[in-house]
Amino acid sequence: RVTIRGAEQSADGIVVNTFEELEAEYVKEYTRTKGDKVWLRSINQPFIWLIRGGERSPLLNKWIQEEGFEERTKERGFIIRGWAPQVLLLSHRAIGGFLTHCGWNSTLEGVSAGVPLVTYPLFAEQFYNKKLAAQVLGIGVSVGIEATVTWGLEDNSGLVIKREKVKEAIEKLMDRGKQGEKRRKRARQLGEIANRAIGVGKQGEKRRKRARQLGEIANRAIGVGGSSHRNIEMLIEFVIQQTRG
């Protein structure tokens, strides 16, 4: 993180994934602040384990086969390799918790489904999403990971967290005591709020209309003469000048 911040401070500019009309005040404030160019597994619980990109994880597949993991857990566990309808799975009432690496989409899907989270971040913004779920929203339990791994080299990163820590986090999440119930109640409340946000009726239609309007604004922003188009042109011109200069 220190390296990232240092790189930002020494850079000629920052490319931000947004467009001015959507976050005009934030863009303005960020520009002012920066002062430079802005371009914008041992638990006794039933489980489903989704393994995406299994062909890229030979060590994991070898471990599953050598340990006989599927055979030992077949009465209470199910492994899905490849794609799975995650939103559909999370919305099922049998789901009591979701162990996630805290990618933003998965975090939102868990919140919208009203499911408490076990947070297992690995890199980048996943650590911020972990804090959001566990500390701000109060629906997450962290396994305790604090250090990042290199994206794409997860299998080569060695021991990141002991299995006991993951077990403890899951048991804490599934606890039937006051804290566990409080966390589940909060998760359900947030799920209801999220569903109301896309609900039917006048308010729902008003939100959808506003969303369509923002979509139109976004399309105009990337069109010729739009703010994103202009910013890309300015970025290219800046790079050319720096190269020549």
5 confidence band (pLDDT: 50, 70, 90): low
Query: Are 93 and 120 in a shared domain?
Result: yes
Q: Residue 77 falls within a domain, yes or no? A: no
Q: Residue 44 falls within a domain, yes or no? A: no
CB 101 within 8 A of CB 126: yes
Range of the domain at 10: 2-39
pLDDT tens digit sequence for 89-99: 888 888 889 99
Q: Residue 189 falls within a domain, yes or no? A: yes
pLDDT tens digit sequence for 58-96: 777 777 787 787 888 888 888 888 888 888 888 888 888
Percentage above 70 pLDDT, the chain: 73
Q: Residue 216 falls within a domain, yes or no? A: yes
Q: Residue 165 falls within a domain, yes or no? A: yes
Q: Residue 228 falls within a domain, yes or no? A: yes
In the chain, the number of structural domains is 3
- State the residue for tokens 């506003």: 210
Query: Are 89 and 145 in a shared domain?
Result: yes
Give the residue-averaged pLDDT of 234-245: 84
Q: How far is CA 235 from CA 15, 37, 40, 197, 240, in A?
A: 9, 9, 9, 37, 9
| Residues in CB range of 14: below 8 A, 6 or more apart | 8, 34, 36, 37, 38, 39
Query: Are 91 and 157 in a shared domain?
Result: yes
The SS3 assignment for 39 reads: strand
Query: Are 189 and 234 in a shared domain?
Result: no
Query: Are 148 and 122 in a shared domain?
Result: yes
Query: Are 89 and 191 in a shared domain?
Result: yes
Asked if residue 180 has pLDDT above 60, the reply is yes
Query: Are 151 and 211 in a shared domain?
Result: no
pLDDT tens digit sequence for 113-142: 899 999 988 888 899 999 999 999 899 999
The SS3 assignment for 146 reads: coil
Query: Are 188 and 219 in a shared domain?
Result: no
